[in-house]
Chains A and B, each alone.
Chain A
Amino acid sequence: MRVIAHLQARADAVYDETYHHKLRGRLWDALDGTAYGSLHDENRPKGFTYSNPFPPGDMREGDEKTLLVASPHEELLAHVAADLKLDRELNIGEMPFRVESVNGLATDVGEPGTSGTIETGTGVLVRIPPWRFEEYGIDTDHDEAEFWRPEHTMEPFRNQIENNLDKKHGLFCPEYQPGPSAVDGDLFKGADLIKTFSIPVTVTQGQRETWVLSKWRFDYTVRDDHHRRHLNLALDTGIGERNSLGFGFVNITEKDGRRPGTEERIDA
């Protein structure tokens, strides 16, 4: 599930592509003092992710943008929503906004048989650990994790995404249900790489690194209830790594209209 916040620019501003760290700060502030505050220091997926303020681009005072925050934890989203309503001023670095409204959204890829497309709203971070280099035939002169790039082929990308979602499944879904790697079939039917790009990311205060990210369009057809749960988990937690920095946020952009009333389109 997710929270949708409608924002209005309070001043003319240049769009800051490196907004992640600043926006993360506000969200952690919202969780400070709650049961989710302690997640901050734990070395595991945090269970939330968020979009960029979209549509991206420079803004004039009064322009409207939208922000989505997703999580499998309703209570976590309630804290974020309450914070955004309590303090309407949302400053993401040099981008000053006022929160005009906050609402809840239920997202669902649809029941078995439904086809659709999921797109990454923000860049996906996939790092291939050095102990997998040999398996994937990656020849490098360093022993640090390698950012995924197209020349590494789809296999490591697919495996890392699935392993990562497996880990989240273990954390956020009932333990008696099979995770993505425990079922037959791929998470996605097809994958279209839109682009790869690199940006400077403030990982923690004072530590800035350049990360290689990618944007994707994934097609899916829901096979069964397990597959539906896995895809919905990806919508709630994001795909790939560092989702609590806003990476790997995904949206349903198309869903077959076999059953009117069940479609939900969000353009981010």
Chain B
Amino acid sequence: MSEHSPTVSNRSEIVFAYDAVDANPNGNPLSGANRPRIDPHTDQAIVTDVRLKRYLRDQLQDDGHGVYIRNVKEDDGDQATREDLLEDRLKDIDLDDVDEDDIESAVFGQFLENSADVRYFGATMSIDMDDEKVDHLPDHFTGPVQFSPGKSLHRVMENEEYNSLTSVIATGDDKAQGGFDLDDHRIQYAFIGFHGLVDEHGAEGTLLTDRDVRRLDTLCWRALKNQTISRSKVGQEPRLYLRVEYADESFHLGGLDQDIDLDRAESAPVEEIRNVRDICVDVSALLERLDEASDRIDTVHVVASDVLELSVNGETGDREFLYDALESAVGSDAVRVIDVYEDATATMPEE
């Protein structure tokens, strides 16, 4: 990224939903057995924004974009510290080659160019380093892309405890009988909705570009496809991604995730839901709000799973039905159906 790349100009609001079958979408380490997080009053599954951002960061890293906040333990035997990572981000700058007046912006730009995750989600730079370059970085980057914790649209049931591969392997090789006493906790089914916001003003603080946001349209989808193949995370699939890009500055409807719900009449009783075919997602309220605000909407970027059933005011259909309904609500020119893999290729790092 250079100083010539304009930062994001429009605010966007995101609704992202995925489902989990026989999985632990977000374990709670404080619960002892890493049990799935469940709201004790409503029995809804909870997935923190931290968990979602971990998937997104891992996908960014796999795609070859620089990532500052890495799961350092996962690097091949490389127990990199945060200081090492920061040093690595800034190694291309030689301060002797930079005019004194430009040092701050050069370090700032270089760090953010090499740290895609900071451009999206921000970071706290609580680093005590004896490096002149680091002195030119702010203490804190506020991320212009914010997600709220996700919740399932319905109450969830935990599976019977069983002796999973994760538990067997996790006990270590020294314990001959390892695994038999360990419990494994999973949710039978959860359809989880997230709410996200891309703030055009905050974008200036991390140099987030339109290309970055365009990448986000494929990143959420692909991260759930690619970063959930470990055993406790397997069984999760992206189902609906919708980014409403607004035309007016500083405007967003807010809470669009609250406008999708299970169509109770078209879905199986919650205790019987086992996979995506047992549910129908009602998007009537969402479409009504988008319709009412259509003159303030620039584009709705959308992709839905081929097997997701949706309903609008009692009518049901597949994703094509949704795309048509969206076009009716906001105008056909204002709907862009995301081609996940083509867009992903278009927003890969430049060779």
Contacts and interface: CB of A to CB of B under 8 A. Distances in A.
Interface of A: 1, 3, 74-75, 77-79, 81-82, 85-86, 88, 100-104, 106, 108, 111-113, 174, 176-177, 225, 258-262
B168 A85 contact: yes
Contacts of A81: 165, 168-169, 179
A104 B179 CA distance: 13
Contacts of A75: 162-165
Given A104-B165, A111-B225, A260-B62, 17 more contacts: A1-B234, A74-B234, A78-B163, A78-B167, A81-B165, A81-B168, A85-B173, A85-B177, A85-B178, A85-B179, A104-B231, A106-B234, A112-B341, A174-B277, A176-B275, A259-B62, A259-B64
Contact of A259 (B63, B225, B275): B63
B307 A82 contact: no
B229 A74 contact: no
Interface string B153-168: 0000000001111111
Contact of B230 (A77, A106, A111): A106
Contact of B222 (A3, A111, A261): A111
Contact of A78 (B179, B229, B276, B277): B179
B225 A86 contact: no
B165 A85 contact: no
A225 B63 contact: no
Interface residues of B, number: 32
Interface of B: 61-64, 162-169, 173, 176-180, 222, 225-226, 229-231, 234, 275-277, 307, 341, 345, 348
Interface centre among B165, B168, B169, B222 (most CB of A within 10 A): B165
Contacts of A112: 341
B165 A101 contact: no
Most buried by B among A3, A74, A81: A74
A174 B168 contact: no
Contacts of A260: 62, 64
A1 B231 contact: yes
Contacts of A85: 168, 173, 176-179
A103 B231 contact: no
Contacts of A174: 275, 277
Contacts of B164: 74-75, 78
A103 B61 CA distance: 24
Given A259-B62, A259-B63, A262-B226, A78 B177 contact: no
B174 to A, nearest CB: 10
